[in-house]
Amino acid sequence: MTDLTVRVRMARVEGAQLVHLVDDFRELVGANRDVEDPAIGRLIPDPYPEDEDSARAFRDATRDDLLDRRALDADIVRTALAGMRGDLGDMPRDEAFAEHDLDIPLSDVDAWMRTLTALRLVIAERLGIQNDDDHDPDDPRYGVYDWLGYRLELTVEAADRLL
């Protein structure tokens, strides 16, 4: 039996940008994480919003395992993108922007979706996005947030076609 793969199309320049974002994310959730960083807080669900003591106990009990899993997920994405990276400075523009097939093993798709979602959560925290109305179309940083949503949607659609 062959392993099923989800195929997404991505330009090298997109892959290089995603590698950069994943590397930054990996550093955020890595061993030297700052648990007081609001972006870290945004990655950890709060099942007890009305009970601060229970919420703190839950965060303390689950935070490290959850962030370690997020780091492993990011490593899976980073490994899959290794072939997309290259020296874009020396690459002709048409080659940098040409789309290539990126095959993601079905077993890694959840890690991809969790990582893309986590990246969006971190960026949302940094930009102060709490709902759909918190969006400045003139600020290019929001373009990264939107692009990650687009990449997440394409990944979900590709996985749905396979299943």
Per-residue pLDDT of 136-161, as tens digits, reads: 888 888 999 999 999 999 999 999 99
For position 151, what pLDDT does the model report?
Answer: 97
Q: Which residues contact 8 (CB under 8 A, 6 or more apart)?
A: 101, 102, 104, 151, 154, 155, 158
Cβ(4)–Cβ(105) below 8 Å: yes
For position 157, what pLDDT does the model report?
Answer: 95
Among residues 90, 95, 75, 74, the alpha carbon closest in space to that of 13 is found at 95
| Residue 56 CB coordination number (10 Å) | 12
3-class state of residue 36 by DSSP? coil
The whole-angstrom separation of Cα 104 and Cα 75 is: 13
3-class state of residue 158 by DSSP? helix
- Domain span at residue 93 reads 5-162
The DSSP element (H or E) to which 9 belongs, if any, is strand 5-11
DSSP one-letter string for 97-126: HSEEEEEEEGGGHHHHHHHHHHHHHHHHHH
Range list of H helices, 9-139: 12-29, 38-43, 52-80, 93-97, 109-127
3-class state of residue 10 by DSSP? strand
For position 145, what pLDDT does the model report?
Answer: 93
For position 1, what pLDDT does the model report?
Answer: 41
pTM for the complete prediction?
0.91
Q: Which residues contact 141 (CB under 8 A, 6 or more apart)?
A: 123, 126, 127
User: For the chain, how many structural domains are there in total?
Assistant: 1
For position 85, what pLDDT does the model report?
Answer: 64
Q: Which residues of the chain have pLDDT under 70?
A: 1-2, 85-87
